[in-house]
Amino acid sequence: MSLTTLYDVPGPRARRRSLIGTVIALLVFAALAVLALRRLGNQGQLDSELWGPLVDPRDERFSRVWELLLDGLLATLASAAVAVAASLVIGTFLGVARMRLAGPWRLAVVTWIELFRGLPVVITIVFVWRAFVELGIDLEPLPGAAGFWYLVIGLTLYNSVVIAEVLRAGVAALPRGQAEAAKAVGMRDGQIMRTIQLPQAFRSMLPAIISQLVVVVKDTSLVAVAGAFYIEMLRRGNLLSQTLDNPIQTLTVVGAIFIILNYLLSRLAISLERRVGQGGRKSVAVSTM
C-alpha cells in the first residue's frame, strides 16, 4: 500500500504555505540563537578561558578533562547496558507470566507491572538507594560499586515492565492461526510460546528494545539529581564544572555527547527496523511463490 493513500497529497498552495512557514520558523530560530550568543558574549561566557579546557587541545587541562568525561561516558554506557540486559530477561519473564498465569498469580504480576509503570524513574532509583541503605543490604559481593547497582536496579525495575508490555503486544499481534495450528499437531502451550511466538515477538520488538536503550541512556542522568552515589557522565560534568567554574560550557558539551550518542542509537533502531521489515517481506514473498 502506498503511503500516499493514507493522506491527501498537498497541492501547490499547501506546499508553498509549508515552505513559507518553515522559512519563518528557521529565521526566528536563527534570530533567537544570535540574541542568545550575543548575550552570552556580553557576559563573557564565550571567552577562551572558559571553553579552552573543553575544545582547545593546547590547553594543559584539555586531556585530563576529556579523560574524566570519557570515564563518565563509560560509566553511563556500562550502567545502561547492564540495565537493558537485566530488563530484557526480567521483562520476558514478566510478559510471559502475565500471558500464561491466571488467578491471584496473574493479579500479582499485573499489580507489579502497573506499579512500576506508574512510578517516575527518579523515584524508583531513590527508593532503591534508600531501601538498600536503610535495610543494610550488602552489595559488596557484586562487581562494581554499590551506587552502580542502585542505579541499575532502579532502571531495571522500570524498564523491565515496559519490555514486558512490548513483548505482550508483540505476541498479541501474531496471527491466532499459528497457535491453533501448533495445538492441532500436538504442541503444548509452553512449546508454542517458546518456539513459535516468542522468537517472532522478539524479532518484531527489536527496534523497540533499541529505542528503549535510548531512554535508559538518558535516564542514567537522573542519578545526578537523585544522589551522589554514582558518578556517571552528567555527575562527572557537574563536578568538572565546579572545578573549572564554567557550568554552561561543560554542561553544553555533556549535552552534546548525549545528543550524539542517542542519535546514533536512534539510527541503529531505524536500521534494524528496516532490516526486520525487509526480512518479513522477503519471507512473505517466498511463502507465496
Residue-wise pLDDT tens digits, 208-231: 777 777 888 888 888 877 665 788
Tell which residue, 91, 112, 119, 111, has the closest CA to residue 205: 91
User: Which has the minimum average pLDDT: 30-39, 173-182, 215-224, 262-271?
Assistant: 173-182
Q: What is this structure's pTM?
A: 0.78
Distance CA 76, CA 219 (A): 10
Q: Is residue 185 over pLDDT 60?
A: yes
Q: Which residue has the higher pLDDT, 162 or 192?
A: 162
Ordered by start, the domain boundaries in the chain are 59-275
In this prediction, residue 223 carries a pLDDT of 82
Q: For residues 213 and 77, is the Cβ–Cβ distance under 8 A? A: no
Tell which residue, 221, 216, 272, 198, has the closest CA to residue 84: 216
In this prediction, residue 254 carries a pLDDT of 92
Q: For residues 237 and 251, is the Cβ–Cβ distance under 8 A? A: yes
Q: Which residue has the higher pLDDT, 11 or 61?
A: 61
Percent with pLDDT over 90 in the chain: 17
Residue indicated by cell numbers 527489536: 206
Q: Is residue 288 over pLDDT 80?
A: no
Q: Which residue has the higher pLDDT, 272 or 165?
A: 165
Percent with pLDDT over 70 in the chain: 91
Q: Is residue 195 over pLDDT 80?
A: no
pLDDT mean across residues, the chain: 82
Q: For residues 170 and 200, is the Cβ–Cβ distance under 8 A? A: yes
Q: For residues 50 and 59, is the Cβ–Cβ distance under 8 A? A: no
User: Which has the minimum average pLDDT: 16-25, 68-77, 153-162, 181-190?
Assistant: 181-190
CA distances (Å), origin 165, targets 100, 159, 175, 264: 14, 10, 18, 25
Q: Which residue has the higher pLDDT, 63 or 42?
A: 63
**Model confidence band, residue 285 (pLDDT cutoffs 50, 70, 90):** very low
Residues 6+ apart with CB under 8 A from 99: 168, 171, 193
Q: For residues 75 and 233, is the Cβ–Cβ distance under 8 A? A: yes
- Looking at domain 59-275, its CATH architecture is Orthogonal Bundle (1.10)
Long-range interactions of 171-177: CB distance < 8 A, separation 24+: 171/95, 171/99, 171/197, 171/198, 171/201, 173/204, 174/200, 174/201
* pLDDT tens sequence across 102-146: 888 889 988 998 888 888 888 898 888 888 888 888 887 788 778
Average pLDDT over residues 29-35: 89
